[in-house]
Protein backbone atom coordinates (compact mmCIF):
# COMPACT_ATOMS: atom_id res chain seq x y z
CA UNK A 1 0.00 0.00 0.00
CA UNK A 2 2.86 2.41 0.79
CA UNK A 3 4.24 1.82 -2.69
CA UNK A 4 0.88 2.81 -4.18
CA UNK A 5 0.82 6.12 -2.33
CA UNK A 6 4.42 6.85 -3.26
CA UNK A 7 3.45 6.27 -6.88
CA UNK A 8 0.36 8.47 -6.47
CA UNK A 9 2.51 11.47 -5.55
CA UNK A 10 5.42 10.46 -7.85
CA UNK A 11 7.68 10.62 -4.80
CA UNK A 12 10.84 10.34 -6.92
CA UNK A 13 10.12 13.80 -8.34
CA UNK A 14 10.72 15.34 -4.92
CA UNK A 15 14.25 15.74 -6.27
CA UNK A 16 13.11 18.83 -8.21
CA UNK A 17 12.48 21.06 -5.19
CA UNK A 18 14.30 19.42 -2.29
CA UNK A 19 17.88 20.36 -3.29
CA UNK A 20 16.99 24.06 -3.43
CA UNK A 21 15.24 23.84 -0.07
CA UNK A 22 18.35 22.25 1.41
CA UNK A 23 20.48 25.02 -0.11
CA UNK A 24 18.25 27.55 1.66
CA UNK A 25 18.66 25.60 4.89
CA UNK A 26 22.46 25.49 4.72
CA UNK A 27 22.67 29.17 3.80
CA UNK A 28 20.68 29.81 6.97
CA UNK A 29 23.15 27.72 8.97
CA UNK A 30 26.02 29.69 7.43
CA UNK A 31 24.42 33.01 8.33
CA UNK A 32 23.66 32.05 11.94
CA UNK A 33 27.17 30.65 12.49
CA UNK A 34 25.65 27.90 14.60
CA UNK A 35 26.33 24.17 14.53
CA UNK A 36 24.24 22.12 12.14
CA UNK A 37 21.06 20.86 13.82
CA UNK A 38 20.13 17.49 12.37
CA UNK A 39 16.81 17.70 14.20
CA UNK A 40 15.93 20.93 12.40
CA UNK A 41 17.21 19.53 9.10
CA UNK A 42 14.93 16.53 9.51
CA UNK A 43 11.95 18.77 10.23
CA UNK A 44 12.62 20.86 7.11
CA UNK A 45 12.85 17.73 4.95
CA UNK A 46 9.61 16.41 6.44
CA UNK A 47 7.88 19.72 5.69
CA UNK A 48 8.96 19.51 2.06
CA UNK A 49 7.80 15.91 1.76
CA UNK A 50 4.43 16.50 3.45
CA UNK A 51 3.64 19.70 1.53
CA UNK A 52 4.60 18.27 -1.84
CA UNK A 53 2.79 14.98 -1.18
CA UNK A 54 -0.37 16.85 -0.18
CA UNK A 55 -0.21 18.98 -3.32
CA UNK A 56 0.38 16.06 -5.69
CA UNK A 57 -2.26 13.83 -4.13
CA UNK A 58 -4.81 16.67 -4.16
CA UNK A 59 -4.03 17.32 -7.82
CA UNK A 60 -4.60 13.66 -8.63
CA UNK A 61 -7.84 13.66 -6.59
CA UNK A 62 -9.25 16.82 -8.11
CA UNK A 63 -8.24 15.88 -11.67
CA UNK A 64 -9.36 12.24 -11.51
CA UNK A 65 -12.10 12.67 -14.13
CA UNK A 66 -9.81 14.66 -16.43
CA UNK A 67 -7.07 12.05 -16.06
CA UNK A 68 -9.53 9.27 -16.85
CA UNK A 69 -10.42 10.88 -20.19
CA UNK A 70 -6.84 11.67 -21.20
CA UNK A 71 -5.08 8.73 -22.85
CA UNK A 72 -1.72 9.88 -21.47
CA UNK A 73 -2.93 9.85 -17.84
CA UNK A 74 -5.46 7.01 -17.77
CA UNK A 75 -3.00 4.71 -15.98
CA UNK A 76 -2.61 7.03 -12.98
CA UNK A 77 -3.60 5.45 -9.68
CA UNK A 78 -7.10 6.90 -9.21
CA UNK A 79 -8.52 6.45 -12.74
CA UNK A 80 -6.88 3.01 -12.87
CA UNK A 81 -8.64 2.01 -9.63
CA UNK A 82 -5.43 1.38 -7.69
CA UNK A 83 -6.36 4.01 -5.09
CA UNK A 84 -9.92 5.23 -4.45
CA UNK A 85 -10.77 8.96 -4.44
CA UNK A 86 -11.61 8.81 -0.73
CA UNK A 87 -8.28 7.18 0.07
CA UNK A 88 -6.47 9.88 -1.88
CA UNK A 89 -8.40 12.65 -0.12
CA UNK A 90 -7.68 11.09 3.26
CA UNK A 91 -3.99 11.02 2.35
CA UNK A 92 -4.15 14.73 1.46
CA UNK A 93 -5.71 15.62 4.82
CA UNK A 94 -3.13 13.54 6.69
CA UNK A 95 -0.22 15.21 4.87
CA UNK A 96 -1.64 18.68 5.54
CA UNK A 97 -2.04 17.98 9.25
CA UNK A 98 1.46 16.51 9.48
CA UNK A 99 2.89 19.51 7.63
CA UNK A 100 1.30 22.02 10.02
CA UNK A 101 2.31 19.96 13.05
CA UNK A 102 5.90 19.77 11.82
CA UNK A 103 6.13 23.53 11.35
CA UNK A 104 5.03 23.95 14.98
CA UNK A 105 8.27 22.31 16.09
CA UNK A 106 10.38 24.58 13.85
CA UNK A 107 9.50 28.11 14.94
CA UNK A 108 6.39 30.31 15.44
CA UNK A 109 6.87 32.15 12.11
CA UNK A 110 6.87 28.96 10.04
CA UNK A 111 3.87 27.66 11.99
CA UNK A 112 1.86 30.85 11.40
CA UNK A 113 2.69 30.84 7.68
CA UNK A 114 2.01 27.11 7.16
CA UNK A 115 -1.66 27.61 6.08
CA UNK A 116 -0.49 30.17 3.51
CA UNK A 117 1.98 27.67 2.07
CA UNK A 118 -0.72 25.00 1.86
CA UNK A 119 -3.12 27.44 0.21
CA UNK A 120 -0.57 28.08 -2.55
CA UNK A 121 0.49 24.48 -3.20
CA UNK A 122 -3.04 23.09 -3.06
CA UNK A 123 -4.56 26.01 -4.95
CA UNK A 124 -2.47 25.26 -8.04
CA UNK A 125 -4.78 22.37 -8.87
CA UNK A 126 -7.72 24.70 -9.58
CA UNK A 127 -5.84 27.28 -11.65
CA UNK A 128 -5.80 25.36 -14.93
CA UNK A 129 -9.59 25.66 -14.94
CA UNK A 130 -9.58 29.45 -15.26
CA UNK A 131 -6.12 30.84 -16.14
CA UNK A 132 -3.22 30.08 -18.43
CA UNK A 133 -0.92 31.39 -15.69
CA UNK A 134 -1.29 28.07 -13.83
CA UNK A 135 2.39 27.31 -14.53
CA UNK A 136 3.41 30.37 -12.54
CA UNK A 137 1.35 29.24 -9.55
CA UNK A 138 3.11 25.87 -9.63
CA UNK A 139 6.43 27.69 -9.76
CA UNK A 140 5.42 29.84 -6.80
CA UNK A 141 4.58 26.76 -4.74
CA UNK A 142 8.02 25.22 -5.23
CA UNK A 143 9.75 28.60 -4.82
CA UNK A 144 8.58 28.60 -1.20
CA UNK A 145 11.07 25.77 -0.55
CA UNK A 146 14.39 27.65 -0.26
CA UNK A 147 12.76 30.69 1.36
CA UNK A 148 10.88 28.59 3.91
CA UNK A 149 13.94 26.48 4.74
CA UNK A 150 16.01 29.62 5.36
CA UNK A 151 13.27 31.01 7.59
CA UNK A 152 13.21 27.74 9.52
CA UNK A 153 16.84 28.31 10.54
CA UNK A 154 16.97 32.08 10.96
CA UNK A 155 13.39 33.28 11.38
CA UNK A 156 14.15 35.92 8.73
CA UNK A 157 14.74 36.33 4.97
CA UNK A 158 17.94 37.15 3.08
CA UNK A 159 18.11 38.73 -0.42
CA UNK A 160 20.20 35.87 -1.80
CA UNK A 161 17.55 33.34 -0.80
CA UNK A 162 14.84 35.48 -2.37
CA UNK A 163 16.83 35.35 -5.62
CA UNK A 164 17.05 31.56 -5.36
CA UNK A 165 13.28 31.51 -4.80
CA UNK A 166 12.80 33.58 -7.97
CA UNK A 167 15.09 31.15 -9.81
CA UNK A 168 12.97 28.17 -8.71
CA UNK A 169 9.78 30.07 -9.55
CA UNK A 170 10.78 30.76 -13.17
CA UNK A 171 12.60 27.44 -13.61
CA UNK A 172 9.58 25.35 -12.60
CA UNK A 173 7.11 27.53 -14.53
CA UNK A 174 9.32 27.27 -17.61
CA UNK A 175 9.66 23.51 -17.62
CA UNK A 176 5.98 23.04 -16.74
CA UNK A 177 5.12 24.95 -19.92
CA UNK A 178 7.26 22.46 -21.87
CA UNK A 179 5.49 19.56 -20.15
CA UNK A 180 2.06 21.05 -20.94
CA UNK A 181 2.83 20.95 -24.67
CA UNK A 182 1.92 17.25 -24.60
CA UNK A 183 -1.69 18.04 -23.68
CA UNK A 184 -2.30 21.11 -25.82
CA UNK A 185 -4.99 19.49 -27.99
CA UNK A 186 -6.62 17.66 -25.09
CA UNK A 187 -6.73 20.78 -22.92
CA UNK A 188 -8.35 22.75 -25.74
CA UNK A 189 -11.03 20.10 -26.11
CA UNK A 190 -11.81 20.17 -22.38
CA UNK A 191 -11.72 23.95 -21.99
CA UNK A 192 -8.65 23.82 -19.76
CA UNK A 193 -6.12 26.62 -19.67
CA UNK A 194 -2.37 26.66 -20.23
CA UNK A 195 0.27 28.75 -21.96
CA UNK A 196 0.41 26.35 -24.96
CA UNK A 197 -3.39 26.48 -25.30
CA UNK A 198 -3.48 30.28 -25.23
CA UNK A 199 -0.41 31.15 -27.28
CA UNK A 200 0.40 28.01 -29.29
CA UNK A 201 3.42 25.71 -29.10
CA UNK A 202 6.01 28.00 -30.68
CA UNK A 203 5.15 31.02 -28.55
CA UNK A 204 4.89 28.83 -25.46
CA UNK A 205 8.43 27.57 -26.01
CA UNK A 206 9.65 31.12 -26.48
CA UNK A 207 8.02 32.14 -23.20
CA UNK A 208 9.65 29.16 -21.52
CA UNK A 209 13.03 30.28 -22.85
CA UNK A 210 12.40 33.76 -21.47
CA UNK A 211 11.51 32.37 -18.04
CA UNK A 212 14.64 30.23 -18.01
CA UNK A 213 16.76 33.23 -18.95
CA UNK A 214 15.39 34.90 -15.80
CA UNK A 215 16.25 31.72 -13.89
CA UNK A 216 19.88 32.00 -14.94
CA UNK A 217 20.04 35.68 -13.99
CA UNK A 218 18.36 35.04 -10.62
CA UNK A 219 20.82 32.25 -9.80
CA UNK A 220 23.76 34.49 -10.64
CA UNK A 221 22.28 37.34 -8.60
CA UNK A 222 21.61 35.08 -5.62
CA UNK A 223 25.13 33.70 -5.68
CA UNK A 224 26.63 37.18 -5.98
CA UNK A 225 24.54 38.48 -3.06
CA UNK A 226 25.64 35.46 -1.04
CA UNK A 227 29.38 35.81 -1.61
CA UNK A 228 29.86 39.20 -3.26
CA UNK A 229 33.23 39.43 -5.03
CA UNK A 230 34.39 36.19 -3.35
CA UNK A 231 32.11 34.19 -5.66
CA UNK A 232 34.86 33.84 -8.26
CA UNK A 233 37.11 32.13 -5.70
CA UNK A 234 34.55 29.37 -5.07
CA UNK A 235 35.02 26.81 -7.88
CA UNK A 236 32.36 24.37 -6.64
CA UNK A 237 29.72 27.08 -6.68
CA UNK A 238 30.81 28.24 -10.13
CA UNK A 239 30.60 24.68 -11.45
CA UNK A 240 27.13 24.28 -9.89
CA UNK A 241 25.92 27.44 -11.63
CA UNK A 242 27.45 26.38 -14.95
CA UNK A 243 25.88 22.90 -14.85
CA UNK A 244 22.44 24.26 -14.05
CA UNK A 245 22.50 27.03 -16.64
CA UNK A 246 23.79 24.68 -19.36
CA UNK A 247 20.98 22.23 -18.51
CA UNK A 248 18.45 25.00 -19.10
CA UNK A 249 19.78 25.50 -22.60
CA UNK A 250 19.98 21.76 -23.25
CA UNK A 251 16.31 21.08 -22.58
CA UNK A 252 15.32 23.74 -25.08
CA UNK A 253 17.69 22.24 -27.61
CA UNK A 254 16.10 18.79 -27.47
CA UNK A 255 12.44 19.93 -27.50
CA UNK A 256 10.73 21.76 -30.33
CA UNK A 257 7.15 22.50 -31.32
CA UNK A 258 7.43 19.83 -34.03
CA UNK A 259 9.15 17.20 -31.88
CA UNK A 260 7.88 16.46 -28.38
CA UNK A 261 9.36 12.97 -28.22
CA UNK A 262 12.02 14.06 -25.70
CA UNK A 263 9.80 16.07 -23.36
CA UNK A 264 10.19 13.53 -20.57
CA UNK A 265 13.97 13.64 -20.93
CA UNK A 266 13.87 17.42 -20.65
CA UNK A 267 11.30 17.46 -17.84
CA UNK A 268 12.45 14.63 -15.59
CA UNK A 269 16.02 13.61 -16.39
CA UNK A 270 17.58 16.98 -17.23
CA UNK A 271 15.87 19.06 -14.57
CA UNK A 272 16.16 16.44 -11.86
CA UNK A 273 19.86 15.88 -12.51
CA UNK A 274 20.60 19.61 -12.72
CA UNK A 275 18.80 20.31 -9.44
CA UNK A 276 20.61 17.48 -7.66
CA UNK A 277 24.05 18.49 -8.94
CA UNK A 278 23.47 22.13 -8.08
CA UNK A 279 22.25 21.33 -4.58
CA UNK A 280 25.04 18.88 -3.76
CA UNK A 281 27.86 21.12 -5.00
CA UNK A 282 26.54 24.29 -3.32
CA UNK A 283 25.96 22.51 -0.01
CA UNK A 284 29.44 20.95 -0.09
CA UNK A 285 30.86 24.41 -0.82
CA UNK A 286 28.99 25.92 2.14
CA UNK A 287 30.00 23.11 4.51
CA UNK A 288 33.66 23.30 3.48
CA UNK A 289 33.71 27.09 3.88
CA UNK A 290 32.29 26.77 7.41
CA UNK A 291 34.95 24.22 8.31
CA UNK A 292 37.84 26.47 7.23
For 8-67, write each residue's pLDDT tens digit.
Answer: 777 666 777 899 999 999 999 999 977 889 999 999 999 999 999 999 999 999 999 999
Please give the average per-residue pLDDT across 150-166, as a whole number.
95
Please give the average per-residue pLDDT across 253-280, as a whole number.
85
Report pLDDT for 20.
Answer: 95
C-beta separation of 29 from 290 below 8 A: yes
Categorize the per-residue pLDDT at 270 as very low, low, confident or very high, splitting at 50, 70 and 90.
Answer: confident
Taking CA atoms, 124 is separated from 43, 127, 188, 201, 248, in Å, by 24, 5, 19, 22, 24
C-beta separation of 227 from 235 below 8 A: no
Q: Which domain holds residue 220?
A: 2-291
Residues forming beta bridges with residue 256, ordered by sequence position: 259
Categorize the per-residue pLDDT at 106 as very low, low, confident or very high, splitting at 50, 70 and 90.
Answer: very high
Name the percent of the chain lying above pLDDT 70. Answer: 98
User: Tens of pLDDT along 118-149?
Assistant: 999 999 999 999 999 999 999 999 999 999 99
Three-class secondary structure assignment of 113-158: HHHHHHHHHHHHHHHCCCCCCHHHHHHHHHHHHHHHHHHHHHCCCC
Taking CA atoms, 151 is separated from 1, 25, 146, 195, 227, in Å, by 35, 8, 9, 32, 19
Report pLDDT for 3.
Answer: 79
Report pLDDT for 268.
Answer: 75
Total of domains in the chain: 1
Determine the Cα–Cα distance for residues 261 and 245; give it in Å rounded to an integer. 22
- CATH number for position 98: 1.10.357.140
Report pLDDT for 215.
Answer: 98
pLDDT at residue 68 above 70?
Answer: yes
User: Tens of pLDDT along 169-214?
Assistant: 999 999 999 999 999 999 999 999 999 999 999 999 999 999 999 9
**Is the pLDDT higher at 10 or at 116?**
116
Categorize the per-residue pLDDT at 292 as very low, low, confident or very high, splitting at 50, 70 and 90.
Answer: low
By C-alpha distance, which of 148, 141, 173, 143 is closest to 56?
141
Report pLDDT for 262.
Answer: 83
Categorize the per-residue pLDDT at 224 as very low, low, confident or very high, splitting at 50, 70 and 90.
Answer: very high
Report pLDDT for 178.
Answer: 92
Determine the Cα–Cα distance for residues 53 and 49; give it in Å rounded to an integer. 6
Report pLDDT for 64.
Answer: 95
Amino acid sequence: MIKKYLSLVTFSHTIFALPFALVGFFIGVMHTSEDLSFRLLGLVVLCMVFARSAAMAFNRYQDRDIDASNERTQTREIPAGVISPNQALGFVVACCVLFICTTYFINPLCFCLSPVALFVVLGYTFTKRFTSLCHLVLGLGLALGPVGAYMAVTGSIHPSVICYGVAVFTWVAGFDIIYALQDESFDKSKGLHSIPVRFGSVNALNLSIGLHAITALALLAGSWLLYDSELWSRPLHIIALAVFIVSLGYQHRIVSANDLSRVNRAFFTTNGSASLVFGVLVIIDIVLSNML
